[in-house]
Structure 1
Amino acid sequence: MDILDEVYKVLKSDPFIAAEVGNRIKYYEYPATGDITGPIIVLEEVGAEMPGDYADGQWLTEDYMVHIEVWVQGAGGRKKRDAIARQIRNIMWEKLGFSQVASMDPEWDKDTNTYRDARRYRGKAYREDFDAL
């Protein structure tokens, strides 16, 4: 499974995220501070998937960790950043079963009035070849 594609799909399909972020969901592509035209979500994998959940000498699931950042610039940016980050947390849990396992302190760049939130989510999915085991 391409976990970033899965996360991208569930985020894009959410009406709130679609309205607030539109097509500004990127893989590994961080904006230059001060060069943001609307809220941006950046997705990254944190390491390769790991085998998990064993039975009868076989690993059954793949364990994933995903890093997701929200960048918002301008007036009202802090509240908008927080609302988007909360919605992402809800989507990750409700749609993928991924829980938030880490976060950094929310940031604000005074010079550019840019707000940033970064969180990590962890979850698992059955192997793609599970039915053939």
Structure 2
Amino acid sequence: MLDQIYEALIADTLINQKAAGRIKFYEYPETSSMTDTHIIIDPLDTPRPSDYADNKWLTEDFMYQIEVWSKSITDRDAIAKRIQHIMWDLNFFNDGGGVDEWDKDLNIYRDARRYRGKTYVDTV
């Protein structure tokens, strides 16, 4: 699922323009030397079996936090909003929770949103 999210993000023109090469899994940027916008995809839980029928699970439930770090609040907000639309298209919804903050000392804006979604399991 991480790969699908990553591919959907880099396929977007705005995100590709503003954060190409700076979309990471699990890795957080070194904030003291950050000059460009970064996106971090962080799984918050392992996939969980969900939606059962005939004594089998049909879907897996995922939860991710996607963070946008930027020196520009305008870029941060535009990218975070675009990510929300992309995640909706991938059948993930904003699960509430998250962070909207500004680090005064480093002048970095951060938007962290949590997304929950399901994918159907390939039956064997």
TM-score, normalization: structure 2?
0.94
Worse overlay, 84-93 or 101-110: 101-110
Match of 1:90 in 2: 85
Match of 2:76 in 1: 81
Worse overlay, 31-40 or 9-18: 31-40
Q: Which letter does structure 2 place at the counterpart of 1:99?
A: F
TM-score, normalization: structure 1?
0.88
Higher-strand-fraction structure? 2
Q: 2:101 aligns with which of 96, 107, 114?
A: 107
What SS class does the counterpart of residue 84 from structure 2 fall into?
helix
Q: Deviations over 1:61-111 (max 9, x none)?
A: 1000011100002xxx112111100000000001x1100102333110111
Gapped runs of 5+ residues in structure 1?
Answer: none
CA distance in 1, matches of 2:96, 2:54: 32
Q: How many residues align?
A: 124
Work out the percentage of aligned pairs sharing the same amino acid. 48
Match of 1:21 in 2: 19
CA RMSD of aligned residues (A): 1.1
Mapped contact 1:70–1:81 kept (Cα < 8 A): yes
CA distance in 1, matches of 2:95, 2:32: 29
**1:56 is aligned to 2:80:** no
C-alpha deviation, 1:31, in angstroms:
1.2
